Structure 1
Amino acid sequence: MDVQKSAHAPSPTAERSRPDVTRRSQRSRQAIYEAALALVAEVGYPKTTIEGIAARAGVGKQTIYRWWSSKADVLLEAFLDLSEQAARAAGEDTHAIPDTGDLAADLKAVLRATVDELRDPRYEAPYRALAAEGVVNEQLGRDFLTKLLEPSLQLYVDRLRAAQEAGHVRPEADPRIALELFVAPLAQRWLQRSGPLSHAYTDTLVDYALHGLAPR
């Protein structure tokens, strides 16, 4: 028996009792996400604080500052995590808009899902908070655009380009401008609360965008 090796090797019991730092950190991070989202929904963004998030999550505020520099950063990451979890639970592909060969049907399906998300209280409060704060907080505004909005908009660009290749969209059309015909009105109506959000509304946006207003 190698006495020297056995003297220094950890016992199976020691291995089992050693704390899993990675798992503990992930639990803390998830608790912080949930606390940030809950507080924004309950008291609003201005009254949400790092101290409040820490107390709600059961962690020290130094833990939060070790990972994020501000409550805006916490909220943005928490919202991204929430969206990704929801997409996985629904079995949705977050990297592409479905291509069934019917562009109108595909766009309507995605926009209907977007309306459902915007009307969901779990998403509405943090999404509104991030959109509003991003107007006055330049760094958050850039992060909000690059991490949340741009990836979603690129999915529309990719789907419209595929439709161009299939001959369903004019080849000279700019997909980036084209997507604004249905995405921008929906965003404006939601932000300004200027009208009801419904599947019928988004279906109409797609019909107008794809077929225009001229008589057929």
Structure 2
Amino acid sequence: MRLDNVVGSLPGKVSRMPESSSQPSRPRSGSRRDEAARLAVLHAADDLLVEHGFGALTIEAIARRAGVAKQTIYRWWPSKVEILLDTLIEDSDKRLPVPAGKPTAESIRDYLRGFARFLTGDPAGKVLLALIAQAQHDPGTAESFHQRYLRPRRDQERDLLARAVDAGEISPRLDPDATIDALVGPLVYCALTGAGIPGDLVDTLVEDLLMPRPR
């Protein structure tokens, strides 16, 4: 199950843009942000989402929790979706970086295990799942989610697989995008349905999709 397809399979699908390794700029407006206030807003949005869910999350509630004026938030972010995307991007970069060193089958396996933990045990994983769900019926969320989070991370994951293939570490049975879909899709599906992610699922996916076939 491809994450791009999760976001774009319903009405309001966003056209794919040319692939690029550069991360799109985040929304900036108004006066320069005070870093402490910015972080307070991001943390407040993250906490409130986990506590009350996406539907109950409001700019007013975020402002109260962060101790800033609502007008200040609107000068910095156009919507709660953009606040959550900032939170997701920053937390993913810190706690779930795509391996940048010498690629191995084991480093890919570890990355996928980390992704499973991120989805089920990290507040930012809850943000990711909430945005996937919201993107199904909100074209604006789908577009921003794809441009700001999914596409840049997909570029990094595709590069990881390509480097591992070149190093002779893996021999995928599918093309790069289909391989990524097949690896992360089951993890996202399990997390979205609340079924839990089986402990041996990552190992099974890696063995079946990435390891060289016996001759």
TM over 0.5, yes or no?
A: yes
Change (3 A) 1:168 1:44: closer
Aligned to 2:162: 161
Deviation at 1:166, TM superposition (A): 3.1
Aligned to 2:147: 146
Q: Which amino acid aligns with 1:31?
A: A
Deviation at 1:118, TM superposition (A): 1.1
- Is 1:37–2:50 an aligned residue pair? no
Distance 1:189 1:171 in 2: 23
More helix by share: 1
User: Normalising by structure 2, what TM-score?
Assistant: 0.74
Q: Does the 8 Å CA contact 2:183/2:206 hold for their aligned counterparts?
A: yes
Deviation at 1:38, TM superposition (A): 1.1
Distance 1:215 1:163 in 2: 18
Change (3 A) 1:28 1:110: same
| Higher mean C-alpha displacement, 29-38 vs 124-133 | 124-133
Larger radius of gyration between Structure 1 and Structure 2: 1
Aligned to 1:77: 86
Q: Does the 8 Å CA contact 1:79/1:126 hold for their aligned counterparts?
A: yes
Q: Does the 8 Å CA contact 1:115/1:199 hold for their aligned counterparts?
A: no
Aligned to 1:4: none
Q: Does the 8 Å CA contact 1:28/1:59 hold for their aligned counterparts?
A: yes
Change (3 A) 1:107 1:172: closer
Distance 2:141 2:75 in 1: 18
What is the aligned counterpart of 1:49 among 54, 58, 75?
Answer: 58
Q: Does the 8 Å CA contact 1:32/1:53 hold for their aligned counterparts?
A: yes
Aligned to 1:8: none
Deviation at 1:170, TM superposition (A): 5.5
Q: Does the 8 Å CA contact 1:134/1:144 hold for their aligned counterparts?
A: yes
Q: Which amino acid aligns with 1:147?
A: R
- Is 1:86–2:95 an aligned residue pair? yes
Matches within 5 A, 1:187-206: 187-193=188-194, 195-206=195-206
Q: Which amino acid aligns with 1:192?
A: T
Matches within 5 A, 1:51-130: 51-86=60-95, 94=97, 96-100=99-103, 102-103=104-105, 105-130=106-131
Q: Which amino acid aligns with 2:111?
A: V
Change (3 A) 1:85 1:166: closer
Q: Which amino acid aligns with 2:124?
A: Y
**Structure 2 portions without partners, runs of 5+:** 1-30
Change (3 A) 1:37 1:205: same
Deviation at 1:66, TM superposition (A): 0.3
Number of equivalent positions: 185
User: Normalising by structure 1, what TM-score?
Assistant: 0.74
Instruction: Compute the RMSD of aligned alpha carbons.
Output: 2.7
| Higher mean C-alpha displacement, 149-158 vs 200-209 | 149-158
